[in-house]
Amino acid sequence: MNLTLRLKDTFGPFLGDGAEGNEFRCQKIEPFWDSYERIILDFEGVDSMTHSFVNAFVGNLVEAHPRDFREKLVFKNCSPLVKTFIKGALSFAKTRIPA
C-alpha cells in the first residue's frame, strides 16, 4: 500500500515556506511512515520552490529516516527545476547523516 500526497493541493504552485514544509512533514508523513510501503510525493503543478522549503521538507525526512528513505520516498511528476532542487536537498541532507 502506498500513500500519495499532492503538494500543489496544500501549497499551490510555489513551495516557499520552510516552516510549512516542516509542519507538513510532521503532520502528513511522519505518523504514517511505517504504515505504507512507499510514500509518493506528487509535484504535479508545482512550478518552483526555495531551498528553505525543500531542505526543511525533504532534508528533514532524509535525516529522520537515513536507513530507508531511498526505498520509501518516490518523487513524482517533477519538472526539471523541481528535480534540481530536490536532488540538491538530498545531497545536502546526505552530508548531515552521521556515518
Partner 1 sequence: MPFILPPTIHDALVTRLLRRLTAVDSDEPLTIDFSRVGFYEPGAVIALLTRLRHWKEKGRQLSATGIRQSPSKRYLQRIDFFAHLGIHLEEDFERLPAQSRFVEICRIKNSQVNALASKVARCMASQCEEPEEIRSCFAYILGELIANVDQHSGGAGFLSAQHYPDKGSIHVAVGDCGVGIRRSFEGTHLEEQLRTPRAALEKALEPTVSSALLRPPSGPYQGRNNRGLGLSMISKLISETHGQFRLFTENAVYEQIGDVSFKFDETSHTHPGTLASLSINTDEITNFNEVIGEISNRVEPSELDEWDEMFESPKDELDSSP
Binding site for partner 1 (CB under 8 A): 1-4, 11-23, 25-27, 36, 38, 40, 44, 47-53, 55-56, 59-60, 63-64, 70, 73-78, 80-81, 83-88, 90-92, 94-95
Which residue, 20 or 66, has its beta carbon nearer to partner 1? 20
C-alpha cell at 35: 504504515
Q: Which residues contact 84 (CB under 8 A, 6 or more apart)?
A: none
28 — phi, psi (to 5°)? -105, -15
Which residue, 4 or 97, has its beta carbon nearer to partner 1? 4
